Structures are given as C-alpha cells and as structure tokens.
Chain A
Amino acid sequence: MTWNGLVLALVAVAALAGIALVLPPWLISLATVSISSGLVVLGLIVLWRAGLVPFGQALYFATGAYAVALASRLLGWSDALALVALGALAAGLLAFLVGFLLARYREIFFAMLSLALSMILYGTLVKSEALGSTDGFNVAPATFLGYAPHGLEQTRALFWLALGLVLVSGTAVQAYFSSIVGALAIPIRDNEIRVEYLGMSVTHIIHLKLVISGVLAGIGGALAALVISHVDPNMAYWTTSGGFVFVTILAGASSVPTAFIGAFVFEVIRSVAVTVLPGAWQMILGSVLLATILFLPEGLGSLARRRVANGDAK
C-alpha cells in the first residue's frame, strides 16, 4: 500500500470511529455486521482474483463464530481480542486442512466442493445437541482488555474493534496483493502452466490463498458472533455463503475498501428491502444482483476506478 493509501485509510477509520459517538445504536450495529461480512468478502476477493469462486465460505465464517461462542460458553472467555484471535486461528486451521483437498480443484468443482464441505458443518451443527442444534446459543457480552461495557457502550466498543480489524486486515491484504505471490492471481487465472514452468507451485499458492481467506472469514464470523450475541447453524448454511458471493459481485474484486463498502451497501439494501416488502424482500435483492451484473459487471469498485482513470490519466 502506498503511504497515501495508508493515511487515507487511517483518516477514514478515525472519522468513522468519531461519527459513532453520534450515530444511533441500530446503525452502529448494522455497520459492525457489515464489517463482519466485509472481512469475509475480502477473503473471497483473494480467491476471486485467481478465478476461484467459493460457494462455501460460510464454513470458515461459522467456524469462527462457533469458536467464539464455545470459548465463551465452555471456557468463560470474554476478552474480545482473544476471542477474535481464536476465531481466526480455528478457521485458518480448518482452511489449512481442507486446503490439501480444495487447492487441487478449479472452477465449478472448486465451488461445489467448498459448498459440500460447508454443508457438512451445517449438518453437524444441526444434529449436535452439544452445539446447540438448530437453535444455536447465545454469546455473553465481550470485554475489552478488562473494560466491560454494556448497552450502547458495548455496541460502540465492538464497532471500534471492527474498525481496528478492518485497518489491520485491509493493510495486510493490500500488502499481499502487491507481493509477488499476491500479484500471481491473474497469471494463475490466465495460465497455470506458465506459472509452474517459471518455477512456482500453483497448488501451494492457492493453498495459501485458502488459508488467508479462511482466516479473514474466521475473523468475520467471530465479530458477527459478538455483535449479534448469538450463533446458529444458519451461519454455515449455503444461503450465507451465497450472500458473500452476492456482496463480492456487488463490490467487485478491484480493491480492499470496496469489500467493506459493498458489504455495507448490501446490508442497507437488505434492511430496506425487508422493511418495504417483508414478504418478498428477496425479489428486491435479486433485482439488484441482476442490475449489478448487467450494468456494473466489475462491481461498485469499478465506479471509483473509472473516476480515477478520467481524473488523472497517466
């Protein structure tokens, strides 16, 4: 990331952190939920750039969420940072393990295999009484390095934590994108044979991408568990995965900020749709998806790029 980009990100995050002092709680919660899915989408973009579309990213999302819920319930953990780290670790480890299988597949086989794995977790969660079955269970309010806020304070603290996670994850992913391996996403999509015959293992690179996207989805899931204060098997269901794919199409894979902007726009559209058309809100979401694919095939991010291209033609 350029220094300009980093400064811009810092300013944006600081501004959002300040605005939270005057925003209504429901909007802060909505923003935190958006960030949690934005983190998952950021991981999806890592894979997307290499031409891989996972239809089962909810696997890592739910793993992160359940890791938090179980640690809170069984071990009495309450520190938000420790819980998020645990969620990231659990999901990253799972991604590393299933990566040995997934990294060998491409295209529809990759998509369907990742979907199948997520549905195995869904089935397991639904059938396990110990894991809360279909109801799931509640997550106790988090503490922050000893600070134990309640109500609105808790909502704000989680939002600030979410912003911190955005900054750290966004910077790391941006650095990854400009690294050699990160930049190899397009060469891999274009021509795996050439990459292999230049001396780099495509399988290893995709495995790494899976772990990165798994960790990000785990962080997103952990954050979601804390902000919603509840986990249930729907977090692993295929419609959850589909939602992440939806947001990625809406956002586009062009840059890091678009993941979060796209996720926020999606949450707003969904909230409005549910209010306006409670019985058939999916129709509105579907129409938005259709319009995005028809008129903005590279997503919201391409709007910013067009403006940049027009503004300072190099």
Chain B
Amino acid sequence: MTAILSVTGLEKTFGSVTAARDISCEIPAGQTVGIIGANGAGKTTFVNLITGHLAPSKGCVRFEGRDVTGLPSRSICRLGISRSFQVAQIFPTMSVFENMCTAVAIAKAGGSLVRGATRALHAQATIEDAETALALFSLSASRNARASTLPQGLRKLLDIAMASAGHPRLLLLDEPTSGISVEEKYQLMDTIMGALKTRGITVLFVEHDMEIVQRFADRVLAFYDGTVIADGPPAIALADAKVREFVTGTTIHVRTPPGGAHA
C-alpha cells in the first residue's frame, strides 16, 4: 500500500509552548487510525496541522505525495483532506437536507466562487447526491428537521456526512463520540465507519474510549506531551508501558462488551 499521508518531523510551537514536536508517521491508504492521548497531549493540534487550521513551525506534511505543508485549510480541503469537529459544525437554522445540499453543492462547485455564483444550489444532481448521503449516514428520517433540534449523535453524523460530501480521500474525525452516551457510541461508530468504508475514505479519528479504539482502529497513534509515544496495532500500542502510564492509566485495560460498564 502507498502512503496517503506522510508526516515528517512535524513541530508546532506557540512562544515557549511546544504543542507538537518531532511527529513522523506514514498512513497507508485504507488504514483506519485511532489517535489517543490525554487532554493537552497534542491530538487536536496534530489534526489542525494536517488540515491547515494551524501552520507547522517545522516539518512536512505530504498528501498523496504532494507537499501540503502550510497551505490554507480551504486549499487542503479541495485537495481531498476533510475533517469533522469535536463540537459538530453544522448550520443550525437550516434543515438537515439543506445542510447536506449546501455541502454537496460546494463540493460540486469545487469551492470556486465563479462556479458557485453561476450554478443553482438546487440542481437535480445535487439533490440526488444529498439524499444518497443522508441515506448512507442513516439521516433520512431527520431530513426535514431543523439542524439545531437534532440530538448530539445525529449532529455528529451530519457534521461527518457534510465533511465527506466532497468525496475526500482522507477524513480526520476529532472525537466523533464525545458527548455521546456509552450505549449509543458503538452504533454511532458503526454507522460512521460503515458509511466511510462504502466511500473508500481513509479515516483518522481522535478517541478517548479505548474500547472504541480497539474495535474500530487498525492502528493506534498514542500522543503524550506533543509527540507520538507509541505507534502500532491496537493490541500492541495499548499494551505499551508508556501508553499505560500516560494515556490509559496504570491499570490493565480489560475489554468489556458493548454497553457494559465503562471505567
């Protein structure tokens, strides 16, 4: 497999604070990567550096062999890297369908102002693609609901459905299950991962729940103090001594069945 994302020596400093340092990794296309780490470990900074929300102080980000370091987020998005947010970023006063139409229409216009100003929003192809996406993400039942009235889980789904409207090759999910009850997390992740697999999107997701990570990730990147302290398959990375000390806690993490008590 060829690397879809290749990160070398990534570093980000804010004055005397180092939020990311010496991060290097190669992500092959099709791999699902779980990003773990305590609060402040640099997970979101890592996502922000890749998606252009922040410009790295040092190092290089390559996407499909192309250097995207320091490009503005819009350009990176147009190249095929998309993201969802820890707090779902949707258009609250619009219906779920209009949210999806907007995302699809912008993708179809390729982010171009000229094409965007000369093409109708409600083109037949846009409406069809929006309906397909809503069905894929199990959102069809909420099609006409105002987005602000959606429960948390559906908001997250809508955010991710919109992020994937432009058929990105790489999608970064920042805590897709945060704010979701333990009972609902698995179903939500099943829907998300199922939909993204159907579209053949490579996924990096930030996650605090180690059971979710074990179940959905092919590989784990464990962050501590701005850098990667473990990188490998979940079974190995989660058993790593440093990961147990700095990320998951010193007690050995025993996998519990879905819906079970969560320590």
> Interface of A with B (CB < 8 Å)?
176, 178-184, 186-187, 189-191, 193-201, 204-205, 208
Contact = CB atoms under 8 A, between A and B. Distances in A.
Contacts of A189: 93
A198 B118 contact: no
A186 B101 CA distance: 13
8 contacts: A179-B118, A181-B117, A182-B117, A191-B90, A194-B89, A194-B159, A197-B89, A201-B113
Contacts of A194: 89-91, 159, 162
A187 B94 contact: yes
Given A199-B111, A200-B74, A205-B113, A180 B91 contact: no
Contacts, number: 95
A180 B117 contact: yes
A178 B167 CA distance: 24
A201 B90 CA distance: 16
Contact of B91 (A176, A186, A199, A201): A186
Contact of A198 (B94, B119, B162): B162
A256 B119 CA distance: 19
Contacts of A186: 91, 93-94
A198 B122 contact: no
Given A198-B77, A200-B111, A176 B117 contact: yes
B49 interface: no
Chain B interface size, under 10 / 10 to 19 / 20 to 34 / 35 or more: 35 or more
Contacts of B32: none
B176 interface: no
Nearest to A182: B117
B192 interface: no
Interface stretch (B102-110, B193-201, B220-228): B102-110
Contacts of B78: 199
A190 B74 contact: no
Nearest to A179: B117
A199 B109 CA distance: 10
B89 A179 contact: no
Given A194-B90, A197-B163, A198-B106, A180 B120 contact: yes
B44 interface: no
Contacts of B111: 198-201
Interface of B: 51, 73-74, 77-78, 82-83, 85, 89-94, 102-103, 105-107, 109-111, 113, 115-122, 159, 162-163, 165-166
A183 B102 contact: yes
Pairs of residues from A and B, 8 with the lowest C-beta to C-beta distance, nearest first? A199-B111, A181-B116, A183-B121, A190-B91, A194-B89, A180-B116, A199-B77, A181-B117
A197 B73 CA distance: 7
Contacts of A187: 91, 94, 102
Contacts of A191: 89-92
A180 B93 contact: no
Nearest to B91: A190
A298 to B, nearest CB: 13
A178 B89 contact: no
B116 A179 contact: yes
A42 to B, nearest CB: 17
Given A180-B105, A187-B91, A190-B93, A196 B117 contact: no
Which of A182, A189, A194, A205: most chain B Cβ within 10 A? A194
A190 B116 contact: no
Given A180-B105, A198-B163, 11 more contacts: A176-B117, A190-B93, A194-B162, A195-B106, A196-B77, A197-B73, A197-B82, A197-B163, A198-B162, A199-B166, A200-B113
Contacts of A182: 117, 121
Contacts of B119: 179-180
A198 B165 contact: yes
Contacts of A201: 74, 111, 113
Contacts of A198: 77, 102-103, 106-107, 111, 162-163, 165-166
B107 A184 contact: no
Nearest to A205: B113
A33 B215 CA distance: 69
A24 B94 CA distance: 47
Contacts of B107: 198-199
Given A196-B73, A199-B77, A181 B93 contact: no
B75 to A, nearest CB: 8
A178 B116 contact: no
Most chain B CB atoms below 10 A, which of A181, A186, A189, A196: A181
